[in-house]
A and B are shown apart, each in its own frame.
Chain A
Amino acid sequence: MKQRPGAWLVLPALVPVVLVLGAGIGTAVAQSLGLMPLVGVPRLSLDAYRAHGADVLTATRLSLGIALAATALAAIVGLVTALAVVGLLGRRRSGRAVGGLSVLTIPVPHLVGAAVMGLLLADSGVLVRWLGLDSLGGIVGGPLWLAVVLEYAWKESAFIALVVAGTLVTRVSSFDETAALLGAGRWQRLRRVTLPLAQPALIASSALSFVYALGTYEVAFLLGRVFPEPLPVLAYRLFTSVDLTTRPQAAAVAVVTTVLSVSVLLLTLTALRRSPAWR
């Protein structure tokens, strides 16, 4: 066998990753198939997936909807912020200031973001007081999950802006200048130069934001309503239920979320690899 000195260097990272992911997801799958019940005899079945079939379907639709709305908003705000940061919207100093403010929100934990959105948007929150209204009509805990969407959009727009501005800043000025010299107008430069350059980073960071919103528990738990529940909230409730027989059902919801999340990222990766800007 060919000797490969240096290959061991990856082991301190690779071994824990493979062990933890393998054990965690493996156990969740086994549990969801009835092979590891906390009480009773192991028996292979799909009961855990069927028991709350309608709820899981509702939760899936809800989670996808929230993640989609939040990601769309975050992508738009994030892209505009990135353009401002690299100075393409004029007013370079304001652009840099906006960039500084967006970076300020990066270290805010999502849970704190949710708490802060609660202070701002709740029916007795600060915004209602400032606007002199009686209520905001249920932004927090309302049927449209607006506070949840806004929290994800707020945090993730800063993330998307950071990633997109990072790729733009190294390349855009020279390309933009060349295009301007060749006579391209503002709109043409934006459409033919800047956006294609930003596209892979925008798609990749949006996909990561989408997956994050899909798999996060605390924001919907703090700012959402009691019913219907998004996937992580449903899984957590079933997992911590006094009734131990719901554990496999919680595992089933976890497996469904995992499959969705992995599929979205794989699809994105395939799409990105096909795009010419990938290389």
Chain B
Amino acid sequence: MALTTAAHPSVRRTRTRPRRVERALRGLRGWSGLLHLGLGVWFLLPLVPLLLWAVADRWSFPASLPQDYGLSGWRGALDQGAASALGRSLLLGLAVAGLAAPAGALAARGLVLGRVPLPGLVGAALLAPIAFPAFAVALGLDVLLIRTGVANLVGVVLLLAVAAIPYTTYTMRVAFGAYDLAYEDEARTLGATRRQVLLRVQLPMLAPALSGAAFLAFLVAWSDYVVTLLIGGGQVVTLPLVVASAASAIGNEAVVATTSLTAVLPPLVLLVLVRLLGRRRAA
């Protein structure tokens, strides 16, 4: 920063204009602590009531903290079927990740190898699900599924896997961009079979990206509400449906908090695991 005093004349000339802003920015350095604090509050504040309500047995208005602490919110969550909903959400997330991550990885490899006809169009088609509102697709598909007699659960999994494919394909395309195909050729030259190349070269090298892609696909399914509601027809009760039913009732704050926490913690744990895996591979 001391080098700014040795500025090139032409640079210096253009600098006179925003001198006021320059001064404001210098002032901002003093304010930057406050700015960081503000950002921290912005991201963290909404999660604080969640933690307080989750352990509040009694918290009547207008007290600023709960009067009695306890686990009645968790009992309420169990009564609402949060445990089985948790299991269903996990299975749904795993199923969607298990379909969308390999499909995205294969598609990305196909596109990277450059053997796909009309690669621009195919790439755009694989990103297209982002552009179409999920409720609109679900609304149209629902009628069709009823007429063709496809089971609700199959419809939910299929639609969510399609919704996840843009994310998995994109993640894997980026990963293949940094991946050197020559490693495979070398392994083959050294006498490795195709299977060995897959298990010993491709999968280990792509594991961080694959787990990242699978995590994103899991999140798509885990976070979904409207597709499960519309296509599931009330038969596939996942965690978001339980949270929504608690949140649309009045005076239910403790149960809203405990079911919400149940819906937040598993993906957070997964996120930490995925990051750790990525870091270990990178090291």
Contact = CB atoms under 8 A, between A and B. Distances in A.
Contacts of B29: 90
A157 interface: yes
A142 B113 CA distance: 54
Contacts of B39: 77, 80-81, 84, 98, 101-102
Interface in A79-98: 80-81, 84, 89-91, 94-95, 97-98
A261 B130 CA distance: 9
Contacts of B248: 222
B143 A108 contact: no
Interface string B119-153: 00010011011111111111111011000000000
Nearest to A93: B36
Contacts of B103: 12-13, 16
Given A6-B110, A13-B165, A28-B136, A84 B43 contact: no
B46 A117 contact: yes
Contact of A107 (B165, B257, B264): B264
Contact of B165 (A17, A81, A235, A258): A17
Contact of A10 (B45, B122, B223): B122
A10 B260 contact: no
Interface string B269-280: 011000000000
A211 interface: yes
A187 B223 contact: no
B135 A20 contact: no
Contacts of B143: 27, 31, 36, 38, 247
Residue among B39, B129, B144 with the highest chain A CB neighbour number at 10 A: B39
A160 interface: no
Interface residues of A, number: 99
A146 interface: no
B102 to A, nearest CB: 7
Nearest to B24: A187
A9 B140 contact: no
Interface in A124-175: 124-126, 128-130, 132, 154, 157-158
B33 A214 contact: no
B24 to A, nearest CB: 9
A129 B48 CA distance: 13
A202 to B, nearest CB: 17
Given A10-B116, A113-B46, A186-B25, A25 B136 contact: yes
Contact of A182 (B11, B47, B64): B11
Contacts of B253: 119
Given A107-B268, A222-B248, A250-B139, A112 B110 contact: no
A117 B169 CA distance: 32
B230 interface: yes
A9 B114 CA distance: 11
Contact of B64 (A20, A116, A130, A214): A130
B197 interface: no
A106 B144 CA distance: 33
A211 B130 contact: yes
Given A20-B141, A132-B62, A214-B133, A188 B14 contact: yes
Interface stretch (B1-9, B187-195, B204-212): B1-9
Contacts of B33: 91, 94
A258 B110 contact: no
Contacts of A110: 223, 225
B229 to A, nearest CB: 8
Contacts of B18: 187-188, 191
A112 B260 contact: yes
A14 B117 CA distance: 13
A113 B29 CA distance: 32
A16 B165 contact: yes
A104 interface: yes
Q: Which 10 A-B pairs have the closest CB atoms?
A: A215-B133, A183-B7, A9-B110, A28-B140, A109-B223, A24-B137, A107-B267, A254-B136, A6-B115, A13-B107
27 contacts: A4-B116, A5-B115, A10-B122, A14-B122, A16-B158, A17-B128, A20-B141, A21-B132, A21-B162, A25-B132, A25-B137, A38-B143, A84-B39, A101-B44, A102-B39, A104-B47, A111-B225, A111-B244, A115-B243, A115-B260, A128-B62, A132-B62, A183-B7, A187-B18, A187-B21, A208-B130, A258-B133
Interface of B: 1, 3-4, 6-8, 11-12, 14-15, 18, 21-22, 25-26, 28-29, 32-33, 35-36, 39-40, 42-50, 52-53, 61-64, 100, 102-104, 106-107, 109-111, 113, 115-117, 122, 125-126, 128-141, 143-144, 158-159, 161-162, 165, 168-169, 219, 222-226, 230, 240, 243-244, 246-248, 253, 256-257, 260, 263-264, 267-268, 270-271
Given A16-B162, A211-B130, 5 more contacts: A6-B115, A18-B125, A111-B243, A129-B61, A257-B136
